[in-house]
Chain A
Amino acid sequence: MGTYIPNTKEEQLKMLHEIGYKDFDDLFKHIPEEARFKGTLNFPKGKSECEVSAIVSGMADDNKVFHKIFRGAGAYNHYVPATVNAIANKEEFLTAYTPYQAEISQGILQSIFEYQTMICELTGMDISNASLYDGASAAAEACAMTHDRKHSTIYISHTVDHRVREVVDTYSFGRNTKVVVVPEVDGETDLKALKEMLEGDPSAACFLMQYPNFNGIVEDADQIASIVHGAGAQLIMSVNPIALGILKTPGEIGADIVCGEGQPLGLGLGYGGPYLGILACTKKNMRKIIGRLVGETTDSQGERGFVLTLQAREQHIRRDKASSNVCSNQAQCALKASIYLATVGPKGLKQAATLCTSKAHYLAEQLEKAGLKLTYDKEFFHEFVTDCPDSGKLLAALEEKGILGGLPLEDGRILWCATELCTKEDMDEVAATVKEVF
């Protein structure tokens, strides 16, 4: 058996005796007999680090790692600069607790303050929280922020990732709020339906859209904003942070709340997590925002310092009256995102976004030439949908070549994605495979 307990059995016994216990049974004797577990736990006994390393590495080896990935749909294969993990894995960051003790947590607090600032810059919002669990849960909390006595119905576009919609639904099942899905036409939100639905419902709290949407399309957010605000509801935009390197910002568009999946900012794929929930809003929502916030202040000698602030919103003070039960963030993921953004800088972020969208457009052209029809003739960022006679056959053929093709959708369509890591050669290979198969 392996252990991280430093005290030897002898030392343990000595300590027990010093404080007046015969042995461990004596120490635990106040636990009622019928509550005690008496059997032996039915899983393997402890092993050496060598053996454990071999076992877990063996599991990792049993996964197929694709080096050419054309699948996104919520998790994107971007380059992770070497700085990100090298810095974020410093043990002072890694092994620290939530920074309640400001005096000895300035490093963590300042890094979060810097993160909040970068997210505000990216989104054009006034305020960002310290981050949430992931993009989907951030969307659910964003919707919750818009509830009040008069506004309780959540409207959500069908073009929002169904995974995000499902989490919003689940949270609403808890909070007993109503969720209404706004239909999609031709890959985009049905604006006519949106207008009618919102204007017909004074209880409409918000409309959640995705930017770019699940089909990769960049919808007309300006028009959506005017419809939503016209109806007295708030606009929530679920964004891809890389896309914001070039796209008009939610701030410029007039969104009230921004949420999003921060995974593209240097977090890697990691089979779905840990990722990063982005949540930001305008000043008027400051006291409604959910999750941790770090604020700037001064210490007793006038030095600049940082603290967790506006804590009275939170569960440990408001308990059942709190707007949410969130009591942590994904601090280390937020740190990675900050390091990523600091590493690439404004030029690098624009470059990454430009590479993604340019390559996606090249891939789309090649696939069309190879005979796959684009399902929608719309402006897209780095994802797009094609029809496909037999997606299973094509994807299997690609897998043979070590390529992870696009995500199969219903009725044979495929959602493709290109990032800066896709080379021209790779994309030509995909197109060639399409020709071979059909």
Chain B
Amino acid sequence: MIDPKELKYSKSHEWVRYDGDDVVIGISDYAQESLGDLVFVNLPEVDDELTVGEALGDVESVKAVSDIISPVSGKVTEINEALLDSPEMINEDPYDAWFVKVTDVQETEDLLSADEYDEFVKEEEA
């Protein structure tokens, strides 16, 4: 799967979509691929304050748990409840399976473009 050009990516493999002043966050195809079949996600609660570089939640595979690092600081306005019941959505279409929507974004880590991210992933695999 090619990574959508309109998205920005973090080095910890989250993707970010700008939606006006708000941002939507999910995890990249490379991330879901390397995590394997996901069986559960822990999401923050609406109104939680996120801090850039800190975990906003985690995803569980059968034998591993990985934190989802927030690329931004801000306030959670919405969470994708659907993921709680069917985490497999993340494996099926990672760019459709968003995790959280965040508003009044304070700071953002410097994110990569799709091409830069592809490069970055290639380096990591090498």
Chains A, B in direct contact (C-beta < 8 Å) = yes
Please give the distance in Å from B90's CB to the nearest CB on chain A: 15
Contact B40 A317 (CB under 8 A): no
- A305-351 interface with B by 8 A CB criterion: 310-312, 317-318, 321
Interface residues of B in 20-67 (CB under 8 A from A): 39-40, 60-65
Q: Is A287 an interface residue (CB 8 A)?
A: yes
Task: Name the CB-closest residue of A to B45.
Answer: A149
How far, in angstroms, from A287 to B65 measured CA to CA in the complex? 14
- B119 CB → nearest A CB, Å: 32
Interface string of B77-96 (1 = CB under 8 A from A): 00000000000000000000
Q: Which residues of B contact A318 (CB under 8 A)?
A: 65
Instruction: Using CB atoms, name the residue of chain B closest to A322.
Output: B65
> CA separation between A147 and B78, bound complex, in Å?
24
Q: Closest Cβ of chain A: how far from B47's Cβ, in Å?
A: 12
Query: In the assembled complex, how far is the CB of residue A262 from the closest CB belonging to chain B, in whole angstroms?
Result: 29
Separation of A312 and B40 alpha carbons in the complex (Å): 9
- Residues in B with CB closer than 8 Å to A287 are 40
Contacts of A310 in B (CB 8 A): 40
B98 to chain A, nearest CB (A): 21
* CB <8 Å contact, A311 and B62: yes
Can you name the residue of chain B whose Cβ is closest to the Cβ of A319?
Answer: B65
Contacts of B60 in A (CB 8 A): 312
Q: Which residue of B lies closest to A321 (CB)?
A: B65
Contacts of B40 in A (CB 8 A): 287, 310, 312
What residues of B have a CB within 8 angstroms of the CB of A312 in the complex? Answer: 39-40, 60-65
Least CB distance from B35 to A in Å reads 12
Q: Nearest chain-A residue to B42 (Cβ)?
A: A287
Docked complex: A244-299 residues within 8 A CB-CB of B: 287
Q: Separation in Å of the B45 CB from the closest CB of chain A?
A: 9
Residue of A nearest to B55 (CB): A321
Q: Give the Cβ gap from A111 to chain B, nearest Cβ, in Å.
A: 22
Could you tell me the distance between the alpha carbons of A287 and B58 in the complex, rounded to whole angstroms? 14
A215 vs B54: C-alpha distance in the bound complex, in angstroms?
50
Give Cα A321 to B60, complex, Å: 13
Cα-based distance from A311 to B64 in the complex (angstroms): 9
- The closest CB in chain A to the CB of B67 belongs to A321
- State the Cβ distance, A226 to closest chain B Cβ, in Å: 26
Most A-side CB within 10 Å, residue of B40, B64, B65: B65
Candidate in A287, A312, A318 with the most chain B CB atoms within 10 angstroms: A312
Q: How long is the Cα–Cα vector from A318 to B64 in the complex, in angstroms?
A: 8
Question: Which residues of chain A are near B61, meaning CB under 8 Å?
Answer: 312
Bound complex: CA A317 to CA B59 (Å): 12
Nearest to A287 among chain B residues (CB) is B40
Residues on B with beta carbons closer than 8 Å to the beta carbon of A321: 65
Of all chain A residues, which has the CB nearest B48? Answer: A149
Question: How many angstroms from the CA of A321 to the CA of B57 in the assembled complex?
Answer: 12
Complex: how many Å from CA A287 to CA B39?
Answer: 12
A321 to B55, CA, bound (A): 12
B43 to chain A, nearest CB (A): 12
| A318 CB to nearest chain B CB (Å) | 6
Expressed in whole angstroms, the Cα–Cα distance for A321 and B62 within the complex equals: 16
Please name the residue on chain B nearest to A148 by beta carbon.
B45
Q: What is the CA–CA distance of A287 and B63 in the complex, to the nearest angstrom?
A: 15
CA of A211 to CA of B71 in the docked complex: distance in angstroms? 49
Task: Collect the chain A residues with CB atoms within 8 Å of residue B63's CB.
Answer: 311-312, 317
Additional A-B contacts beyond A287-B40, A317-B63, A321-B65 (7; CB < 8 A): A311-B62, A311-B63, A312-B60, A312-B62, A312-B63, A317-B65, A318-B65
CB<8 Å pairs between A and B, sample of 17 = A287-B40, A310-B40, A311-B62, A311-B63, A312-B39, A312-B40, A312-B60, A312-B61, A312-B62, A312-B63, A312-B64, A312-B65, A317-B63, A317-B64, A317-B65, A318-B65, A321-B65
Closest 5 CB pairs of A and B: A312-B60, A312-B65, A317-B65, A318-B65, A317-B64
